[in-house]
Amino acid sequence: MSSSEPVRPHHLPTRARRALPTLLLLCALTLSACGTSGTTSSEAASAPSAQETPPAPRSAAASPSGDGQKRSTAQTQIASGSSSLSAQATDGPTPTPAGTAPDRNKLLNASLSLPSTCTANGPVSFSGGQASLSFGGFARIEAPSATYILDGTPTAAVALTCNGGGSAAFPSLAFYDDELSLVASYDLSRISGAESYEPVITSLEPRGDILHVEWSNEKLPTDTAGMHTGSGTGSADLSWNGTSFDKSNITIHDARGNQVG
């Protein structure tokens, strides 16, 4: 037999031929086991991949960080906006605060210039709201007072009564700024068109650009008690036009409250 010829079963010894089926069975079992093992190895190899595949847990876990970044960004933007607004507020022009009107109590004990209705040479010194005039008369600051804005300047509006040493009284309104300078005045003898020229101011009420004035001792045509005494009352509105006061809404009432003018 040549060495290149294959070994055929019928050429094998009897004992070898008997053992061949067993060997073939073992080989088949071995191959089956190897195939099973291969499948198991493939599944085992793919299992980690399947475990690593689901992105949801990692995505869900990552979302708080993303939200945190958004919140952080929003906070940064808000802070930046606040800084910008702060810078704008700082860089803008600073409004000049308006002055304040002098306190009434300060006027009662101050040296003040008087309106032209009070004949006086220079400022006079008040004590408790009253000052003596050089020619024997007096000046008195009456009870009503108010703060009135005059050309953008807060002023203290007070009612003044001046006496020249006789029986007549000459009332006026005086307006003083925070430096106690007399910036305007109004002769109250011209506040109504009636005969009375000695009104007694009972109320001063600022209403925006208007100063509402009320008074008593308004002399009516029916009054006969003397030229210095009146039974009527009156009210009017004064408004500053830049150089003087305009008068409007004048009403006069008698002692019974009836409007007579």
- The pLDDT tens digits for 107-159 are 999 999 999 888 777 799 999 999 998 777 899 999 999 999 999 999 999 99
Name the nearest CA neighbour of 218 among 259, 258, 252, 251: 252
Q: Report the domain count for the chain.
A: 1
| pLDDT for the residue 87 | 41
| 114 within a domain of the structure (yes/no) | yes
| pLDDT for the residue 197 | 79
| 204 within a domain of the structure (yes/no) | yes
Per-residue pLDDT tens over the stretch 51-79: 444 444 444 444 444 454 444 444 544 44
CA dihedral 30, 35, 38, 43 (to 10 degrees): -140
| 61 within a domain of the structure (yes/no) | no
| pLDDT for the residue 60 | 40
Mean pLDDT across 17-46: 47
Q: Which domain holds residue 239?
A: 104-253
Kindly report which listed range (91-95, 121-125, 166-170) carries the lowest average pLDDT score.
91-95
| pLDDT for the residue 119 | 76
**Contacts for 200-207 with beta carbons within 8 Å, 24 or more apart?**
200/142, 200/171, 201/142, 201/144, 201/159, 201/171, 201/173, 202/144, 202/233, 203/144, 204/144, 204/145, 204/146, 204/157, 204/159, 204/173, 205/146, 206/146, 206/147, 206/148, 206/149, 206/157, 207/237
Mean pLDDT across 168-175: 91
| 52 within a domain of the structure (yes/no) | no
| 203 within a domain of the structure (yes/no) | yes
Kindly report the average pLDDT of the chain as a whole number.
Answer: 74
| pLDDT for the residue 24 | 55
Q: Is the pLDDT of residue 36 over 90?
A: no
| pLDDT for the residue 159 | 96
Mean pLDDT across 168-181: 93
| pLDDT for the residue 50 | 39
Q: Is the pLDDT of residue 235 over 50?
A: yes
Looking at per-residue pLDDT, the higher value among 201 and 36 belongs to 201
| 128 within a domain of the structure (yes/no) | yes
Looking at per-residue pLDDT, the higher value among 245 and 4 belongs to 245
| pLDDT for the residue 225 | 82
Q: Is 8 helix (H, G, I), strand (E, B) or coil?
A: coil
Q: Residue 89: pLDDT band by 50, 70, 90 thresholds?
A: very low
- Residue 75 makes CB contacts below 8 A (sequence gap 6+) with none
Confirm whether pTM is higher than 0.75: no
| pLDDT for the residue 17 | 52
Mean pLDDT across 192-218: 90
| 9 within a domain of the structure (yes/no) | no
| pLDDT for the residue 250 | 95
Mean pLDDT across 101-109: 94
What is the phi-psi region of residue 257: left when phi exceeds 0, alpha when psi lies from -120 to 50, beta otherwise? left
| pLDDT for the residue 96 | 43
| pLDDT for the residue 97 | 42
In angstroms, the CA 162 to CA 196 distance is 16
- Residue 82 makes CB contacts below 8 A (sequence gap 6+) with none
Residues facing 149 on adjacent strands: 154
| 80 within a domain of the structure (yes/no) | no
